[in-house]
Amino acid sequence: MKNGMSVLLSRIATPTRVGRRDFIIVAALAAIAFVVPYVAGTYQQEVGFRILQLGALAAAWNIAAGYTGLVSLGSAAFFGLGVYTMALASNAGLPIVLCMILAAVVAGLFALIVSPALFRLRGLYFTVGTLALAEALRIFVVNSPWFGGQAGIFLTARAPKAFELYWIALAIAVLVIVCVLVLLRSRWSYRMQAVRDDEDVASQLGVRTYRTKLWAFGLSGALIAIVGSVQALNQGIVQPNGGFGISWTIEIVSVAIIGGMGTKVGPWIGAVFIVLLGEFLIQFPEIHMAVVGVVLVLVIRFMPNGIWGTFTLALQKERNFS
Amino acid sequence: MNSIDPVGLTNTVLGGALLGGLIALSAVGLSLVLGVMKLVNLVHGQIVVLGAYMAYYLSAFWGISPLLALPIVFVLGFLFMAPVQRFILAPVARHGEEAGLLTTFALAIILENLFIRIFSGDSRSLDTIFSRETIAIGPINLPTIYLIGFGISLAVCLAVWALVTRTSFGRSLRASSEDPISAAIVGIHVSRIRWGTFALNGGLSAIGGVLIALCFSFTPSSGSEYLLTAFAIIVLGGLGNIMGTFVGGIALGIFQSLGAYFFGDGYRTFVGLVMLIVLLAIAPNGILNRRRSL
């Protein structure tokens, strides 16, 4: 990505200093979110679940795309792996938490297996490669005899109630946030951002680019798979077009870009925006997605740093002047 | 599938080759845009679908046969894509290459959902008087429509090849592709060339969509499959190499039909996708390519 030092990805919100304050804020917000089921009804819990789910997905995608420059359109592959791992493992009688861990492991292994081919691709070609990979995996699951084909697999585990799902999603959201914050505090974040801004220069400076990309891609995929495994519990039945459907990729990418790529808070802002817009247009799902597309075009053009990135930039300017 | 039947296999391979050549037309425009604008046009698949719907409604409302509708569809596709480049893509070009890519991704989302809304999610297909006919050459039976489509695709590819290599527009296009800044310095209107290339992609993809719809049924959501197939063809044939794209299409068609023959029809697209990933990894400039540029 030599000449591609894109505005969309680099600079601004980059020097993210993560301090103890961030962890305290997360803990406080999580505590507030925890009591929601006691005061709100099932509908609010379901909307909350959607926000936490999409926010966690976009924040996980952001690790690879926003910080490391691996703009993947293959998120549906990892999501689907999580969905199917949960279905197969929980039907085999494993406890739910173990199934989630297994989903992460499967996704990490998958990232490891495909990385030799994918990481030879730079920039736009990487993006196309991931898109092809996700579609290939979907078609494979549809046609292969082991995964129940188009009809899918029913989960035998007890369907969780709305508040249980909400709490599971909250726990996973906290997990994702903590992963991102810890990552941003570590040296890894510098390596990742160096790879994003110029892979060749980073490599010259002694960054092991392949390993850095693999960790970022694998962690991102593993977290996406964990969220996917919860979606299997939510649905009670897993199907290739639901699990591996490109609509997941579309939602993840839209949420992250609208909120702000490469920012800590952006994905969550984007999730709130898209879920609330979806509730507003609940009668017209196609119109909802078309509007999301229009918003995406406008955001990329006029606010390339997303809602949160633009907001923090404005705040910084204000501070510099005063 | 115990023993391989030679006649059946020949039939499959020939049919696949014809089909591949036919599908190649839909990849030519994508290849031009990638070569000239260094832009991965993710809305390509939806334009292919749009072309199919145009032909469908031209035939449903005015009874225009899809084959006769090809010039109309070309013009409509051209006119549809011209303002997209001028007013939507050109302004974000300064934000870097991801911005263009993700903008076309957003356009794909918009179009696909509008298609579902306007045309409904039903599967549709185009019919001509040739649709159910076959031509027999000895023991080999080939659908007439494959032959006609192959011929049209070959003719259009030759025309585009002549446009790119034999005209002044083509010379400017090649110059803009190789080095846009130098091209601008010697007086080539690079942004106009890009605009023309993108619009041309619209027209070519739209008629490519008509040809595909003559052979397979389509839905509003077929776009991503068409996009990835077109990509596999480009990578096989070499970026920006027009006749290479045509040959790449034939090669992909043969591989896909062999995949469908040996593993079952569901694996037709799968074979193409796996090939795309493997080829991208081992030979990102294409295996048929001798020169990198147009």
Contact B14, B140 (CB under 8 A): yes
- Strand duo A153-154 + B134-137: pairing: unpaired
CB contact under 8 A, A300 and B102: yes
Name the residue facing A300 among B103, B281, B284 (closest C-beta): B103
**pTM exceeds 0.80:** yes
Contact B109, A296 (CB under 8 A): yes
Contacts of B113 in chain A (CB under 8 A): 286-287, 289-290, 293
Indicate the helix (H) or strand (E) that contains B141: strand B140-143
Q: Kindly state the tokens that stand for A65.
A: 């795309």
Contact A74, A45 (CB under 8 A): no
Q: Is B10 within a domain? A: yes
Indicate the helix (H) or strand (E) that contains A166: helix A162-185
Q: Render pLDDT for A136-145 as a digit per residue (tens, 0 to 9).
A: 898 888 888 8
Name the residue facing A293 among B99, B106, B263 (closest C-beta): B106
DSSP letter at A134 equals H
CA distance A258 to chain B (A): 11
Phi-psi region of A208 (alpha: psi -120 to 50; beta: other; left: phi over 0): beta
Residue B2: strand, helix, or coil: coil
CA distance A50 to chain B (A): 20
CA distance A118 to chain B (A): 7
CA neighbor of B29 nearest in space, from B289, B233, B252 = B233
Q: How far apart are CA A253 and CA A270, in angstroms?
A: 10
CA neighbor of A88 nearest in space, from A135, A136, A139, A152 = A152
Contacts of A117 in chain B (CB under 8 A): 277-278, 280-281
Q: Kindly state the tokens that stand for A95.
A: 């406890």
- pLDDT at residue A130, rounded to an integer: 92
- pLDDT at residue A110, rounded to an integer: 94
Contacts of B271 in chain A (CB under 8 A): none
Percentage of chain A lying above the pLDDT 90 cut: 40
The ipTM value here is 0.86
Q: Kindly state the tokens that stand for B216.
A: 């397979």
Contacts of B279 in chain A (CB under 8 A): none
Q: Kindly state the tokens that stand for A106.
A: 């499967």
Name the residue facing A246 among B91, B224, B284 (closest C-beta): B224
Show the CA angle centred on residue A232, arms to residues A228 and A234, nearest 5°. 110
Q: Is the pLDDT of residue A302 over 80?
A: yes
**Does residue A8 sit at the B interface (CB-CB below 8 Å)?**
yes
C-alpha Rg value of chain B to the nearest Å: 19
Mean pLDDT of B20-48: 88
Q: Is B290 within a domain? A: no
CB contact under 8 A, B106 and A296: yes
**Does residue B158 sit at the A interface (CB-CB below 8 Å)?**
no
pLDDT grade, residue B39 (50/70/90)? confident
Q: How far apart are CA A267 and CA A260, in angstroms?
A: 7
Q: Is B157 within a domain? A: yes
Contacts of A120 in chain B (CB under 8 A): 280-282, 284
Q: How far apart are CA A260 and CA A61, in angstroms?
A: 12
Name the residue facing B109 among A121, A284, A293 (closest C-beta): A293
Contact B106, A256 (CB under 8 A): no
Contact A129, B277 (CB under 8 A): yes
Q: Is B291 within a domain? A: no
Q: Render pLDDT for B192-229 as a digit per residue (tens, 0 to 9).
A: 888 888 999 999 999 999 999 988 889 998 888 899 88
- CA A77 vs. chain centroid, Å, equals 12
**A321 or B70: which carries more pLDDT confidence?**
B70
Q: How far apart are CA B45 and CA B226, in angstroms?
A: 5
How would you label B131-166 residue by residue, b for 16+ Cβ within 10 Å and e otherwise?
Answer: eeeeeeeeeeebbebbbbbbebbbebbeebbeebee
Contacts of A135 in chain B (CB under 8 A): 224-225, 228, 269, 273
Contacts of B94 in chain A (CB under 8 A): 7
CA neighbor of B52 nearest in space, from B115, B126, B116 = B126
Whole-Å CA distances, B54 to A33, B30, B201, B217 = 50, 19, 16, 14
Residue B137: strand, helix, or coil: strand
Q: Is B293 within a domain? A: no
Which range of residues forms the domain containing residue B265?
A: 6-282
Q: Is B287 within a domain? A: no
Domain ranges of chain A: 20-245
Show the CA angle centred on residue B44, arms to residues B41 and B47, nearest 5°. 145
Residue B165: strand, helix, or coil: helix
**Does residue A289 sit at the B interface (CB-CB below 8 Å)?**
yes
Q: How far apart are CA B141 and CA B10, in angstroms?
A: 10
**For A44-58, A94-108, B174-188, which range has the lowest pLDDT when averaged over its residues?**
B174-188
CA distance A215 to chain B (A): 20
CB contact under 8 A, A287 and B117: yes
**Residue B208 neighbours by CB under 8 Å, 6+ apart:** B23, B25, B26, B27, B28, B29, B48, B51, B153
Mean pLDDT of B89-115: 88
CB contact under 8 A, B102 and A296: yes
**A161 or A6: which carries more pLDDT confidence?**
A161
Q: Is the pLDDT of residue B237 over 60?
A: yes
Q: Is B81 within a domain? A: yes
Q: Render pLDDT for A284-294 as a digit per residue (tens, 0 to 9).
A: 888 999 999 99
**B67 or B5: which carries more pLDDT confidence?**
B67
**Does residue A127 sit at the B interface (CB-CB below 8 Å)?**
yes
Provide the domain count of chain B. Answer: 1
CB contact under 8 A, B99 and A7: yes
DSSP track, A184-197: HHSTHHHHHHHHHH
CA distance B39 to chain A (A): 8
Residue B134: strand, helix, or coil: strand
Contact B227, B43 (CB under 8 A): no
Q: How far apart are CA A231 and CA A242, in angstroms?
A: 10
Q: Render pLDDT for B141-187 as a digit per residue (tens, 0 to 9).
A: 788 888 888 999 999 999 988 888 888 888 888 888 888 888 888 88
Contact A297, B107 (CB under 8 A): yes
Q: How far apart are CA B47 and CA B76, in angstroms?
A: 11
Q: Is the pLDDT of residue A14 over 60?
A: no
Q: How many residue contacts between A and B have a Cβ separation below 8 Å?
A: 144
In chain A the beta strands, taken as DSSP E runs, fall at 153-154, 237-238
The CATH code of the domain that includes B14 is 1.10.3470
